[in-house]
Structure 1
Amino acid sequence: WAERIGGLNGLIARADANAAALDRWAQGSGWIEHLAQDPAVRSNTSVCLRFTDRSDGDANRVRQKAIAKLLEQEDAAYDIGAYRDAPPGLRIWCGATVETTDIEALGPWLDWAWESAK
């Protein structure tokens, strides 16, 4: 499979396209941003995002769990909560095994879950 899509270069290109699609959505969301502010140090596979409103960390932890649960119940996303020791937010897999169209389709689901979890 990897060789059919261009080998290592093809895999990297897919992950880059996925991360770029998620970045475009995040930049327009208003409620989430990249955990790593410097694009040079961001992962293009396990993309970590944090909530822009950091005024209440405990409430944001609850919201993070609610978002993950809502999306899992809708079969829209699985295991997207931020790492335990990371600030409240989301972790989205953008590796080569994911289609860019799926990442693009995820954005509206994330917005819906954010609004629903308020």
Structure 2
Amino acid sequence: MSACLTTATALAASPIYFGGDVSGLSRQRPANIHITSDENINHIHWSSWGETFARAHGTVVFSASDGLPPAPVRLRLSKVRRCGTRLQYLRLVIFFTGTPPQGPPQPSVVTYSCKSPS
């Protein structure tokens, strides 16, 4: 039980960043996330941050060449790890809240490697 308290205390005491943006940015509560060259999540509003999980909702936007319309999504960040001097979320799960567009799996899971911030 003390290990759980230690982990919870560390999470509460240290800021947690999301370093999974393709642009290489490590940010807290990002308003947008660049997933790939043809997939972005915009208008992100976070309901929780800084614990084992971070939760938000936003809109996924695909490239025009994909021909897919923007879609509302829920986001969950998890897998907090120490990366250099920072704690970072290393897993992003994307849940489509309406009818998912053809192509992306439901839910879509993106796992990132630990990168030390510059």
Asked whether the two chains share a fold, i.e. TM above 0.5, the reply is: no
- Higher-helix-fraction structure: 1
Q: State the TM-score, normalizing by the size of structure 1.
A: 0.36
More strand by share: 2
> TM-score, normalised on structure 2?
0.36
